[in-house]
């Protein structure tokens, strides 16, 4: 790690007020009360996110991509393309598959994603973990041989066991691959991400680092773009914050603070339960009719609704707070009612 990335002065020297951010939202895949995908709610949320000005990414961790079948992931691609219309950009997770040759699995996933005119995001697999840096870069090169372009993805194991954070040599070798346009970075560690930014500026300035750190979303002010699950909670508020940064407005700070408060509540341990927190929040704020998630996904306690209500108040997302509390929070507090579905 460079000396600049280790020092506070080096970190603050990276601040970039007035920068334009490429915003990608990892979109939640809603479920109904019977445990089935709620396709209408998904389409509405996709369109809401795009209307806010954010690009969308589907089949990511936020969309339960690792829990879906191949057929379900393909169906998500089809619904997304139909909803957005021809030519609208979107991103989609590419998985290696549970068995067989992982490179062949990635090739099949990439072919399906590109058939829907989307850009693959290469989700790590356990076969990558034991590879030395040169071998790992070669592995990615073989995957990318069948892709027009793609994003990489460093994922902390706190999100999923197949994830890993690259060592510095692996990162430097991987970002040299020309078909890789950028990489999502989800170490949840500021210093590591700042080091990534310094390295890419030295080696390949056009390469983009998309922060996946939902506990430090102000990294956009230090040079990162983002591909965040937190943005699916409140896409309009993220767009407003991003605009304030681009305009160099001091209001960026308060907007970011309010969103970070939401992130600290939603992404506390156990981290994978953030997806249920997203569904709870979207139900409280009127974006969803219930708080259903994938049947195998971890859940938050119903009492979290009180904290999420406070987050929504701070973000000014409630038209009638008293009614919202009465109808979408109070019935779940101490009542034994586990969900809104």
Say if residue 256's pLDDT is above 50: yes
Q: What is the pLDDT of residues 273-294, one digit of tens each?
A: 999 999 999 999 999 999 999 9
- Mean residue pLDDT of the chain comes to 94
In a domain, 307, yes or no: no
pLDDT of the residue at 2: 57
In a domain, 136, yes or no: yes
Report yes or no: 122 and 152 within 8 Å, Cβ to Cβ: yes
Range of the domain at 39: 3-250
In a domain, 302, yes or no: no
pLDDT of the residue at 24: 98
Say if residue 76's pLDDT is above 60: yes
Report yes or no: 283 and 291 within 8 Å, Cβ to Cβ: yes
pLDDT of the residue at 337: 40
- pLDDT bucket at 5, cuts 50 / 70 / 90: low
pLDDT of the residue at 162: 86
In a domain, 139, yes or no: yes
In a domain, 15, yes or no: yes
In a domain, 288, yes or no: no
Residue 212 phi/psi, 5-degree rounding, is -115, 20
* More confidently predicted of 6 and 62: 62
Say if residue 208's pLDDT is above 50: yes
- pLDDT bucket at 336, cuts 50 / 70 / 90: very low
Say if residue 95's pLDDT is above 90: yes
Say if residue 340's pLDDT is above 60: no
Q: What is the pLDDT of residues 174-200, one digit of tens each?
A: 999 999 999 999 999 999 999 999 999
Say if residue 332's pLDDT is above 60: yes
CATH code at position 244: 3.20.20.70
What share of the chain in percent tops pLDDT 70? Answer: 96
In a domain, 164, yes or no: yes
User: What is d(CA 8, CA 5) in angstroms, rounded to the nearest whole number?
Assistant: 8
In a domain, 179, yes or no: yes
Residue 153 phi/psi, 5-degree rounding, is -160, 115
pLDDT of the residue at 3: 54
Which residues 6+ apart lie within 8 Å of 80 measured at CB? Answer: 46, 56, 58, 90, 92, 116, 118
What domain count does the chain have? 1
User: What is d(CA 211, CA 278) in angstroms, rounded to the nearest whole number?
Assistant: 19
Q: What is the pLDDT of residues 135-159, one digit of tens each?
A: 999 999 999 999 999 999 998 888 8
Q: What is the pLDDT of residues 38-56, one digit of tens each?
A: 999 999 999 999 999 999 9
pLDDT of the residue at 338: 41
pLDDT of the residue at 339: 45
State mean pLDDT over 265-273.
95
Give the DSSP letter string of 249-310: -THHHHHHHHHHHHHHHHTSSSGGGHHHHHHHHHHHTTS-S--B--TTS----TTHHHHHHH
pLDDT of the residue at 142: 97
pLDDT of the residue at 157: 84
């Amino acid at each position: 790690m460079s000396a600049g990335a280790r020092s506070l002065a080096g970190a603050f020297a990276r601040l970039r007020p007035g920068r334009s951010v490429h915003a990608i939202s990892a979109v939640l895949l809603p479920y109904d009360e019977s445990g089935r995908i709620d396709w209408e709610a998904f389409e509405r949320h996709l369109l809401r996110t795009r209307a806010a000005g954010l690009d969308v990414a589907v089949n990511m961790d936020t969309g339960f991509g690792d829990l879906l079948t191949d057929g379900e992931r393909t169906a998500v691609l089809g619904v997304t393309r139909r909803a957005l219309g021809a030519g609208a950009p979107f991103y989609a997770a590419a998985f290696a598959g549970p068995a067989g040759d992982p490179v062949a699995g990635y090739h099949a996933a990439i072919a399906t994603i590109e058939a829907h005119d989307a850009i693959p995001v290469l989700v790590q697999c356990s076969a990558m973990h034991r590879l030395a840096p040169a071998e790992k870069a070669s592995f990615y090169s073989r995957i990318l041989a069948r892709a027009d372009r793609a994003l990489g993805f460093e994922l902390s194991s706190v999100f999923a066991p197949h994830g890993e954070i690259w060592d510095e040599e692996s990162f430097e070798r991987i970002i040299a691959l020309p078909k890789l346009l950028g990489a999502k970075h989800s170490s949840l560690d500021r210093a590591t991400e700042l080091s990534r930014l310094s390295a890419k500026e030295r080696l390949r300035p056009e390469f983009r680092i998309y922060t996946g750190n939902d506990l430090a979303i102000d990294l956009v002010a230090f040079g990162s773009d983002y591909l965040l699950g937190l943005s699916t909670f409140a896409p309009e508020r993220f767009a407003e914050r991003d605009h304030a940064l681009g305009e160099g407005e001091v209001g960026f700070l308060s907007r970011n603070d309010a969103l970070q408060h939401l992130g600290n509540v939603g992404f506390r341990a156990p981290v994978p339960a953030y997806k249920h927190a997203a569904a709870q929040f979207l139900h409280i704020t009127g974006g969803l009719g219930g708080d259903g998630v994938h049947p195998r996904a971890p859940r938050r306690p119903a009492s979290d609704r009180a904290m999420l209500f406070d987050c929504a108040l701070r973000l000014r997302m409630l038209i009638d707070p008293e009614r919202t509390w009465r109808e979408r929070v109070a019935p779940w507090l101490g009542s034994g009612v586990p969900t809104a579905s």
